């Protein structure tokens, strides 16, 4: 994908940043209804399950990409004050909201960066853990993003995340194809659960994948020896 695609994603999420929390977390009656209609479930409790993979005594280096508004991670980051957290996003609007939220909560162990997931400005094996929530379905360069996240993760490191997968709910697939993609919020291609599972298992020494409707969650561990396991997401 071209740099034009990156700019489009940034622009769309910049415009959405002030409404993102309500839409994503289903904070109002209408957004709960919309969430149930589009996604088939009324809340985002799957994020709580995902974040349990990151232990409360975690004290290593963590890359959170895309951080979004920090809506789901703020509470978790309060419980890991010894971690060294780097938050990266395409959208400056999302980053600014996350900065304000974390600052208000008293979270100080975070560095914020605006950047391209397909070309991360970090050395190989820089992070003990990588978190990617609700991002891959938007990334224009998915293969490059997957390769970069693998590259910056230390051997034995933890990769956890969640994103949209196709083929689970026809109604959701219709909304994604007809509204989310033309609107510039999601970028094809998309994977099925089986395709995601196979690719993660081809890259990581451990890979657990589950789904709630059309949202897949996963926990992976990079080969401890650092030997690259061929594959791509």
Concatenating the DSSP letter of every residue in 89-101 gives: ES-HHHHHHHHHH
Residue 44: how many CB atoms within 10 A of its CB?
A: 20
Class of domain 3-221: alpha beta
How far is residue 140 from each of residues 5, 18, 44, 79, measured CA to CA in Å?
6, 22, 24, 33
The residue ranges of every structural domain in the chain are: 3-221
List per-residue pLDDT tens for the chain, 233 residues long. 345 556 655 555 554 545 555 555 555 666 677 778 888 876 778 999 999 999 999 999 999 999 999 999 999 999 999 999 999 998 898 899 999 999 999 999 999 999 999 999 999 999 999 999 999 999 989 999 999 999 999 999 999 999 999 999 999 999 999 999 998 889 999 999 999 999 999 999 999 999 999 999 999 999 987 455 444 44
Phi, psi of 13, deg, nearest 5:
-80, -25
d(CA 31, CA 36): 8
């Amino acid at each position: 994908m071209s740099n034009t695609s990156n700019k489009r994603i940034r622009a769309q999420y910049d415009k959405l940043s002030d409404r993102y929390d309500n839409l994503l977390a289903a904070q109002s009656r209408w957004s709960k209804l919309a969430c149930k209609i589009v996604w088939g479930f009324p809340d985002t409790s799957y994020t709580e399950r995902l974040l349990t993979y990151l232990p409360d005594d975690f004290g290593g280096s963590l890359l959170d990409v895309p951080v979004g508004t920090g809506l789901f991670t703020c509470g978790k980051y309060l419980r890991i004050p010894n971690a060294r957290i780097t938050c990266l996003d395409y959208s400056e609007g999302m980053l600014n909201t996350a900065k304000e939220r974390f600052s208000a909560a008293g979270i100080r162990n975070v560095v914020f960066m605006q950047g391209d997931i397909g070309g991360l400005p970090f050395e190989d094996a820089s992070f003990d853990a990588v978190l990617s929530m609700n991002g891959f379905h938007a990334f224009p360069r998915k293969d490059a993003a997957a390769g970069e996240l693998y590259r910056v993760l230390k051997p034995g490191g933890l990769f956890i995340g969640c994103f949209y997968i196709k083929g689970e709910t026809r109604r959701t697939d219709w909304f994604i194809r007809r509204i989310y993609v033309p609107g510039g919020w999601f970028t094809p291609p998309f994977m099925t659960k089986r395709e995601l599972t196979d690719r993660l298992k081809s890259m990581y020494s451990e890979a657990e994948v589950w789904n709630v409707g059309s949202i897949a969650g996963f926990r992976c561990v990079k080969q401890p020896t650092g030997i690259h396991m061929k594959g791509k997401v």
